[in-house]
Chain A
Amino acid sequence: MQATRCWKAERVIERLHEKVTRQMVLSLEACVHCGLCTDQCHYVLANPGDVTYAPAYKAGSIRKFFKAHIDWTGRLFPWWVGARGLYTDAELEDLKDTVFGKCTNCRRCALNCPMGVDQATFNRMARGLLTYVGVMPEGVAVAAKDQWEIGNQMGVLPEDYLETLQWMEEELQSEYGDPTISIPLDKPDCDVVYAINPREIKYDPRTVAEAAAIFHFAGENWTMTRVGWDMTNFGLFNGDDELGAAIAGRVYDEVERLGGKKLVLSECGHGYRSTRCEGPNWGRRTTPFPMESSVVTMLRYIKEGRIQVDKTKNTEPVTYHDSCNNARSCGFFEEPRELLSYVVTDFREMYPNRAENYCCTGGGGAMSMSEYSQRRLKSAKIKAEQLQATGAKIVVTSCHNCVDGLFDLIRHYKLGMEVRLLVNLVAKALVAPAGPLPAPPLA
């Protein structure tokens, strides 16, 4: 007798049929259970003996109900191919624990799979199925709700946002003794519209000030916006394409409204990926303006001589952590390294690096999922060993989630290192020109 399916499981199965793409079907079908992905996952390496962390096992929790409901071999001979449908709320909770709590969607397994199984894409899809029926970690729900309703994932109110920008502007003017330094808002027809991570407003406003100083000394015609300034995107983390499209769309709309010529994104891995790469796909729209990371912007300023930097201001040994979303999903490897070559004297590569780097464990929304903190920190052991092996005092990254993830693991494993973004090092190395700069064009 067929088991009764709960209401949520029914909706998940319905939604599965709508959400699965050709690429996902191929990934779900192609696994040969060879196990080569097993020891490439930081969760496995940090939890030896626990098979539930193996990428193929985690994928199997999704594959089994895909096979039961979509793959015809699984529908005809379920027991033979390990197919099993979803029936109960408890099974949905188990699935939540796997797809949210045991995988950061770092994609390292995909790059180590001989068959090209892209687990992160269907893991995200599974997150989206659960989100659709309200089954998700509370932190993810709260951040997504804040993005929908308030406009940013940290619930920063408009007045707090504006006050913080004003405060940073005043700090800059005082620091440099230059009253022309500003953080423009909603200035039309600028060459650069700058979008940031709300973490910068809430916890680290100094990064906004540093970027503003760099823009100012580069003589950039730039602006920030009053709304649509959050370039992060919980749609990437919770699998909700509609949220992803809406949040990215708000940023694009503001750039278009202001007539901005280019959108520059501050240092956030998932934000860069969501806004630069995925937003046009979620929203099925192209943008009439180019988008780039602020890392590329700063590098260009240095190479064009628009800003001067003195690398002797950053002499402590530094290593670089390739953020998963920047690196494995967007090919962002060399620009940060090239930028570092201008602003630090002692750079030490970590191994492995680039596309083969290990996740900081803070990705995939993990920093918002407090219920998995202990698991996250335990799985960070691999990253801690990587960091320790470099002998560096500072780990640089181009992602705010990585900053938090790395900071947590450094404290947990007592590594005695500091975490910096590239903008911090560039700002520190900045050589302010003598005398006032020509004012940028007025609105």
Chain B
Amino acid sequence: MHELSPLLAFVQDQLQIAALLFMAVVYALKIRWIFRFPAARDRQERTGDPATSARKGAAYSLVNVAMPWAMPSTRQHLLFYTQFVIFHLAVAASITMSFLIPYAPETIASSAAVRLLQALFAAAVLVGLWRLIRRVRDPYIRAISTPDDYFSLSLLIVWFGFSILAAPNQPQEGEWPLMVYFVLTAFFLVYVPFSKISHYLYYPFARWYLGKTLGYRGVYPVKRGGETPA
């Protein structure tokens, strides 16, 4: 069995833990900051469909991401939604892989698991590249983009690329793919709280509050009347 170099052992273990801790501390500070702002509340009596409620609205809102039929924007852009699913599944898979490789490598040792992961990461690279092209070429998207948008997307594309190389977890064939992968992961974890990638931290809160008020007002869950005549 190949003995890891001290540097690789460090980057896939202590460095990841340090980066995660840093991210967690910054996230905790962000959440504390958000909760310093007063929350608007609904003092009025409920409106709309009596079968709805603030709780039902909040629940509907939270799972909205998993219901592409729920909004015209996702219904009308199913390819875009599919890309979103691939991209975010790949993020989850790669984050999980960064834990499994150092602590439970046997769980993703089979060739089937490796191929599946590599296929997912490859698809995510393609999605990322397409999204980068879109961000540059589409005037609407270009107009709302910041340097952070471009950098975050580029970082993730490169990270997914190295995820492909890291998935087989074969340090004996050369440690550099794993080394770069874990250094990128650590950088990603440190950078995320300062970038738009931290949107996943805001997602549950933003959707909770929107869903709570719209559920209370009988707007959520949305009852559709169709987009075209039957």
Contacts and interface: CB of A to CB of B under 8 A. Distances in A.
Interface of A: 20-27, 29-33, 35-40, 44, 49, 51-52, 54, 56-57, 60, 72-73, 77, 79-82, 110-118, 121, 276-281, 284-286, 290-291, 327-334, 349, 351-356
A356 B72 contact: yes
Interface string B193-211: 0111001001101110111
Contacts of B213: 23
A111 B195 CA distance: 24
B147 A79 contact: yes
B64 interface: yes
B148 A329 contact: no
B45 interface: yes
Given A37-B73, A38-B140, A281-B40, A30 B202 contact: yes
Given A21-B39, A35-B141, A51-B140, A115 B199 contact: yes
Nearest to A282: B43
B52 interface: yes
Nearest to B37: A22
A110 B188 CA distance: 29
User: By CB atoms of chain B within 10 A, which of A21, A277, A281 has the most?
Assistant: A277
Given A112-B72, A280-B43, A352-B72, A331 B48 contact: yes
B139 A116 contact: no
B157 to A, nearest CB: 16
A35 B218 CA distance: 27
A256 B222 CA distance: 35
Given A54-B143, A351-B225, 11 more contacts: A22-B35, A29-B206, A33-B146, A44-B140, A51-B139, A56-B144, A285-B43, A286-B43, A327-B219, A330-B218, A356-B222
B71 interface: yes
Contacts of B41: 281
User: By CB atoms of chain B within 10 A, which of A52, A111, A332 has the most?
Assistant: A111
A219 B213 CA distance: 36
B10 to A, nearest CB: 29
Nearest to B41: A281
A23 B148 contact: no
Given A30-B202, A114-B74, A352-B226, A23 B39 contact: yes
A284 B209 CA distance: 19
9 contacts: A30-B206, A82-B146, A116-B206, A286-B44, A328-B219, A331-B52, A331-B218, A332-B47, A352-B226
